[in-house]
Amino acid sequence: MANETEPMLSIEEAHELVLAASSDPLPAEDTPLESALSRVLAESILSTLDLPRWDNSAMDGFAVHAEDVAGAASGSPVRLRVVGEVRAGASADVELPHGCAIRIATGARIPDTADAVIPVEETTLIASGAGSVSSAATDSVSPIRSGGFRAGEPMPEACLVTSGVEPGAFIRRRGEDVRAGARMLEPGRRVTPAQIALAAAVGLGSLRVHRQPVAAVLSTGDELRSAGLELGESGIPDANRPGLLAMCRAAGAHAVDLGIVPDSLDSVLAALRPAIDRSDLLIVSGGVSVGPYDVVRSAFEALGRVELWRVAVQPGKPFAFGTSEPRASDGRRVPMFGLPGNPVSALVTFDLFVRPALDRLSGLASPYVETDRAITEERLGKAAGRRGFLRVVVLRDECGAPIRDAAGRLRVRQSGHQGSHVLSAMAAADALAVVPEAVDHLEPGAEVEIRWLPR
Ligand code: AMP
Ligand code: MG
C-alpha cells in the first residue's frame, strides 16, 4: 500500500516518465479530407499537380500581345478588335492575330499566342455595330462604356486601351503557387482548414494521418451518479467523466465513456480489462489516494504496472500512472492514468499529463502548450514544495480582447476560491497561473507564467 512518506516526483520527472512509457505515435491511415481537420499528418504531403495547373488570367479582361498596346495613352488609345473568348473551364485554343484581343475571364487559360492581360476596368468597350468611337459616343443605347463587363451581354466588337502593359502582366503562371512533386505539408502537425483547401486544390482527396487515439474514461466512487439519475440521500452527480471526455475531445482524441463503477477492485478491473483492447489510453478518476477504498492503484498493478505515484503538483496530488501488459492485438502497452477525484485536480492533471500523452499518440512532433507572461493583480498563495496551478481570469477590454502592458504581459486575477473541489473557479478560468515550488505565494504586481486552458 502506498503511503504519504513516499518521495514526490517533480512535474518534469513525471512528465518524462509519462512520455517515455506512453506508446509511440499510432499507425498511419488515409483519411478523406472531410475528416482530416486537426488530425496529425503522418508523412510529408507532395503536390500531385502544378498549382495553378496552367498560365491563367488574374483578371476579367482581354488577352493581348503586349507589343500591340506599347504606345497606348489616354490621348492616343489603341483599338483592338475582339476576336474570341476564353471562359473559365474552356479550351484556350484560340488564335490571337496582332491588333486583336481575346475576352478572358479570371482563372481562364491564357491562349498560347497572348502574353499579357489588360483588366476590363482599364478599357473602353465598343459594342457590335457601334461603328467609330466618335459616332457611337452619341448613341442612346450607350454602346461605348467602361467599368467592366455585364453579365450576359454579348461580346464587344472592340476595346480601347489607354495604357500599355508589360509582357506577363496579370498572368498567373503555371506552378507559381506549388510545383507538382513539391513538399507542401510536413508531418507532425495538425491539419488546418487552409491546408485542407490546399490539398484539395492540388487534387488530393485524402491525407495520410496518424490514427486518432481512442481514450476511455471511467469514474470510480460509491457516491457517484450519472447526470439525471436519482441522487438519493448521499449521491452526487458525476462531474469528472463528462469533463474528462470533453478534455479528450478537445485534445483531438476519440473519447469513449466507460461509465461509473463503485469503489471495488473487481468492479474497476471488470471495467478496465476489456477497455485495454479497445482503447489507446485509459483515464480513471477517483480512488487513487491512500484511503481504505482507493483501489485504482491496485487495479493498475493487476493490469500491468504502476510507473509513478506522487507528484509535487497542486492541485493534483494524488496522481497515478501505469501501463498495461502488452495487449494482444498489437503488443502496445496502454497508458493508464489515475487522476484525483476532486474535479479541479482531475481537470488540471489531465492538462498537465494526459494531454501530452494524447499528443504523443496522435503523432504531434512538438506537443505545444500555449503559455503567456502575466502580472498578478492579487496575492497568489499555495503550498510550498509543490508547483501550483492556480485558476485565473485574464483581464479584458470592452471588446473581450486580453489587455497587455507595454511588455506584452497580461493581467490576471483569481477566478474564484482555489480549493481543488471548487469547480466554479475552474469553469470561470481562462488559464492556470504557474507558481513555482520554491515560493508559497506571489505578491500583487509579481510576474507569473500562465497556461491557457482549452477554449
Ligand atoms: P477520491 O479521489 O475518490 O478520494 O475523491 C475525492 C473527492 O472528489 C471526493 O469528494 C469525491 O466525492 C469527489 N469525486 C470523486 N470522483 C468524482 C466525480 N467523478 N465527480 C465529482 N466528484 C468526484
Ligand atoms: Mg472516492
Among 217, 218, 224, name the best residue to mutate to test ligand 1's pocket (greatest count of ligand atoms within 8 A of Cβ). 224
Which residue in the block uniquely carries the three cell numbers 475576352? Answer: 103
The CB of 285 under 6 Å from ligand 1? The reply is yes
Report pLDDT digits (tens) over 341-396: 999 999 999 999 999 999 999 999 887 789 999 999 999 999 999 999 999 999 99
Among 56-60, 170-174, 381-385, the range scoring the smallest mean pLDDT is 381-385
Does the pLDDT at position 427 exceed 70? yes
The CB of 219 under 6 Å from ligand 1? The reply is yes
Asked whether 452 and 391 are in contact (CB, 8 A), the reply is no
Report pLDDT digits (tens) over 283-305: 999 999 888 888 999 999 999 99
The CB of 223 under 6 Å from ligand 1? The reply is yes
What is the predicted pLDDT for the residue at 153?
A: 82
What is the predicted pLDDT for the residue at 149?
A: 86
- Enumerate the H helices of 205-318 as residue ranges: 240-250, 265-278, 296-303
Instruction: Identify residues whose C-beta is under 5 A from ligand 2, the ion.
Output: 221, 286-287, 341
- Classify residue 15 as left (phi > 0), alpha (psi -120 to 50) or beta: alpha
The CB of 342 under 6 Å from ligand 1? The reply is yes
What is the predicted pLDDT for the residue at 365?
A: 86
What is the predicted pLDDT for the residue at 284?
A: 98
**Residue 167: partners with Cβ closer than 8 Å, 6 or more residues away:** 66, 67, 115, 116
Report pLDDT digits (tens) over 2-36: 455 667 889 999 999 999 988 799 999 999 999 99
The Å distance, Cα 272 to ligand 2 centre, comes to 17
What is the predicted pLDDT for the residue at 130?
A: 60
The CB of 341 under 6 Å from ligand 1? The reply is yes
The Å distance, Cα 82 to ligand 2 centre, comes to 83
For the chain, what is the mean pLDDT?
92
* 52: preceding bond cis by omega (within 30 degrees): yes
The CB of 343 under 6 Å from ligand 1? The reply is yes
Among 285, 298, 319, 344, name the best residue to mutate to test ligand 1's pocket (greatest count of ligand atoms within 8 A of Cβ). 285
Summary count for the chain: helices (H), strands (E): 9, 29
Q: What's the rounded Cα separation, in Å, for the pair 138 and 126? A: 13
The Å distance, Cα 286 to ligand 1 centre, comes to 5
Ligand nearest to the CA of 262: 2
Does the pLDDT at position 204 exceed 50? yes
What is the predicted pLDDT for the residue at 455?
A: 82
Nearest atom of ligand 1 to the alpha carbon of 288: 2
The Å distance, Cα 388 to ligand 1 centre, comes to 20
Overall average pLDDT of the 393-413 stretch: 97
What is the predicted pLDDT for the residue at 141?
A: 44
What is the predicted pLDDT for the residue at 134?
A: 39
Nearest atom of ligand 1 to the alpha carbon of 223: 12
The CB of 289 under 6 Å from ligand 1? The reply is yes
Overall average pLDDT of the 172-179 stretch: 97
- Classify residue 188 as left (phi > 0), alpha (psi -120 to 50) or beta: left
H or E stretch covering 452 = strand 447-452
Overall average pLDDT of the 137-157 stretch: 72
Q: Is the torsion defined by CA of 179, 180, 182, 183 positive or negative? A: positive
pLDDT level of residue 414 (50, 70, 90 thresholds): very high
